[in-house]
Structure 1
Amino acid sequence: MRVEGTRTRFSQRHPLLFGVMMIILAVALFSGAMAFFRFMGWTPQGLSGLGKDKVGIVHVEGMILDSTDVVEWIRTLEEDASVKGVLLRVNSPGGAIAPSQEIYAAVKNLNQVKPVVASYGSLAASGGYYCSCPAELIYANPGSVTASIGVMAEFVTVTEALEKLGIKPEVLTTGKYKAAGTPMRELSDEQREQMQGLMQDLHDQFVDHVAEARGMDRERVAAIADGRAVTGRQALALGLVDQLGTRYDAIRKLKELAGIQGKAALLEGPEKDIPFVQQLLGTLKIDISSAMPNGWSFSYK
């Protein structure tokens, strides 16, 4: 008479693999559920209601090095007829010039379709201020740091260090301005003058856009466009923001401008790609948004 051995379950034979599979399944179900709730207009704040008016929220955070996600989210909210107004929540020290200008243009266009109110967190300086100034109204906390209207160029030269190592670099160009900013050669007087002229034009664009968006005399903006950072309270006195208040105050005013009565659904974006481990544990935070590209660059910061 043969006695058959007891069959062990997969979870018993491979407990670690089984655990990982269950975690992946749980995260997939959670992500799917959250996507469904966002689509239906549910928010953690409890401002829900299928079929009700919605308020869009655009987050501009960290160094502005690429505008693609923010601009696409702005256009999504612009095309959604159920979104009656948009809050631009800014917490950024600035960044690259072209992306700041692209967000500026998107905000300007959006504000012509539906009201946009900007709300500043800890920091909305330089490019962070630039991209948000076309909003209908700007709210800042008294301690928010903003303005810093100006342009900065930075690069590193390593000629002296190479000379100490007995290394003599050769840089060949087809024009005297082509190698300006290379770390292998010091700037010539002509290159420095040309670079300064380029920066001045970028600075003038910044001043022009702020004056246009804020309805201020250009001379008034130019007088404070010396790179100084100011608090929200100082910015109010200078005419750079409209009100002192919190994110909640800004949303309340936005609902008033949009004609929304009672509660509204909040649609926040753009969505960020969160690492799997961070989704699982909710504790790992990796921020590389402040990393700048090698070499030199112009930036609003």
Structure 2
Amino acid sequence: MGYRPHAPCVGGANHQGQPDHQRHGPHARRFNRDCNVGGIVTRRQKITVAALLAAPVVIGLLLLSFNESPSSSIVPVQQANRIGLVRIVDVIYYADNYVWQLKELRKDKSIAGVIIRVESPGGGVAPSQELYNEVMRYRKEDKPLVVSMGNLAASGAYYLSSPAIKIFANPGTLTGSIGVIFRFPQYHKLFDKIGLDMETIKAGRYKDIGTPHRSMSRDERRLLQELLDDTHEQFIGDVSRARSMEADSLRSIADGRIFTGRRAKEIGLVDSLGGYEVALAWLREHVGLTEKAKTIEKKKRHSLLRDVLTEGIWDRIPFLGRPHQPGGMYFLMEHY
């Protein structure tokens, strides 16, 4: 029978507790090898250590080989077989998330076309213009983009929709409202009643223009009117280019009035009547896809705090209500 140690190899390299016949007898070599007496590193131990060190490298290489993109000479370019969807809802205070979604879908080679579902009364001037410019880029890159208007797609929401290759609206959709508005409250009469004064120290004649603590001067009103007129002309010019309409013809209806979807089609602001499914079916046929083609949305993760402070605030504070009324493209004043 083979050698069997009387006690397990414990206590490190010295094993002072082992009997002499184990450490110095005829079976000493095997005992020393098994128990690593004297710190001797055996060949088997070297192989074991090397294998343990090499294992992560081998596994990493295998994972890399499985995740590598196949050679373009073997696998053809990914086919565009999906439709992208972007939902633009509520007042447009920020454009960042919507622009990000549109860019991601535009760069995605698997996306054959994009549909924007609009349910908004408009919003800030700059965010509306940023979205307009991003939609225009789809034209330059020849990727079809259509707009489906829901219950409301007015002012800034119409602005961003105008470059689409086709705009769909329901007969009862409220749209148009091509205009700009700047409004602010006046508290000075209330302050007078309660005896509250507000001291203002400024450098620059118009630095506190629009303050609610005093009435606006005639000169200040003229200045703001010029600013709004310039913004209104930008609105008209961009829509006329996007819709291939004469600016003068558009100007005659660009006085802030709203139109039903049916009337908007008659005057050339929208192209076809129909809901989301009609618009989606048209786009699929236009790009050569069947009704089985998938529709995807790009999602960008937001922090809960930002959601509460921006888009989600209307849901979380019930008494505020949602500002759905079409009142022109809001001009949100910036401060430095």
Q: TM-score range by the shorter chain?
A: 0.7 to 0.9
Q: Kindly indicate whether the alpha-carbon contact (under 8 Å) linking 1:67 and 1:100 is maintained by their aligned counterparts in 2.
A: yes
Superposition pairs of residues 195-274 of structure 1, within 5 angstroms: 195-270=224-299
In structure 2, the partner of 1:112 is 140
2:71 is the counterpart of 1:71:
no
What is the letter of the counterpart of residue 164 of structure 1? K
- Matches for 1:165-184 after TM superposition, within 5 Å: 165-184=194-213
How far the C-alpha of 1:119 sits from its partner, in A, is: 0.4
CA distance in 2: counterparts of 1:273 and 1:70, whole angstroms: 13
Amino acid at match of 1:148: S
Pair 1:162-2:185 in alignment = no
Partner of 2:85: 57
1:94 corresponds to 2:127: no
Q: Given residue 103 of structure 1, which amino acid in structure 2 is its aligned partner?
A: L
Q: 1:257, CA displacement in angstroms? A: 2.0
Aligned residues: 237
Residues 1:84 and 1:163: Cα distance change in structure 2 (over 3 Å): same
- Whether 1:128 aligns to 2:161 is no
1:223-250 residue CA offsets vs partner (Å, 9 max, x unmatched): 0011101000000011000000111111
Q: Which runs of 5+ in 1 are unaligned?
A: 1-49, 276-284, 292-296
1:52–1:74 distance in 2 versus 1, CA, 3 Å:
closer
Q: Does 1:84 align with 2:112?
A: yes
Change in Cα spacing, 1:270 to 1:190, as seen in structure 2 (3 Å) is: farther
Q: Any conservation in 2 of the 1:139–1:244 contact (CA below 8 Å)? A: yes
Specify the code of the residue in structure 2 equivalent to 1:126: S
Amino acid at match of 1:226: D
Cα shift at 1:290: 4.5
Give the secondary-structure state (helix, strand or coil) at the position aligned to 2:209.
coil
Aligned AA (1:111): R
RMSD across aligned positions (CA): 2.3
Contact 1:74/1:110, CA 8 A, preserved across alignment: no
Alpha-carbon separation, structure 2, partners of 1:270 and 1:287: 21
Q: Measured at CA, do residues 222 and 272 of structure 1 come closer, stay the same or move farther in structure 2, by a change above 3 Å?
A: farther
Distance 1:262 1:165, change over 3 A: closer
Q: State the structure with more CA Rg.
A: 2
